[in-house]
Amino acid sequence: MAIVDINSFTKALFPENALQKDWHTPTEFPCCPQIVDNKPICCYAKQLCKGKIFSSNQYGKHEIIDIAIIDNESSILVMTHDITLHPMKPFALAKIYFSGGQYIHESIQLFFSEDGVKKQFALLQGLEWTGVDSIDDYC
């Protein structure tokens, strides 16, 4: 397994074995396993359930809408909704992968609309999008 250069990431607030990529505000990931087994992605995916808090920091709390295991079971795609009061872009996509003994939480994109996040969630899984266009398609 490759060693992760932690200087190119932000250290998560929790747990100790979590890092953040393209996500600069230190964040807690309450579902992230603290003990790693021989299948770290499967172990993490089992902890992620719709309605649970995925991430929390000084700016908001993101509740899980849906998850998908992608990239030949080497990463997890997480679709979330910010449950704090009226954020500008309340929907988000994150990707989780495991490298060098660390869970990496990568911010993919924030969205204005639920249709926008659902579209990208589908496309990143290689699925066809048959829903409507959203404001996120034009921003």
Is there a domain that residue 117 lies in? Answer: yes
pLDDT in tens, 79-135: 999 999 788 999 999 999 999 999 999 999 999 999 999 999 999 999 999 999 999
Is there a domain that residue 112 lies in? Answer: yes
Is there a domain that residue 138 lies in? Answer: no
Is there a domain that residue 3 lies in? Answer: no
Global pTM value = 0.92
**Among the listed residues 98, 102, 27, 28, the one whose alpha carbon sits nearest the alpha carbon of residue 69:** 98
User: What range does the domain containing 81 cover?
Assistant: 9-127
Is there a domain that residue 135 lies in? Answer: no
Average the pLDDT over each of 1-5, 49-53, 69-73, 122-126 and give the range with the smallest value: 1-5
Contact 114, 102 (CB under 8 A): no
- What is the number of structural domains in the chain? 1
The full DSSP string for 47-86 is: H--TTSEEEEETTEEEEEEEEEEETTTTEEEEEEEE-SS-
pLDDT in tens, 21-31: 999 999 999 99
Structure confidence at residue 86 (pLDDT): 83
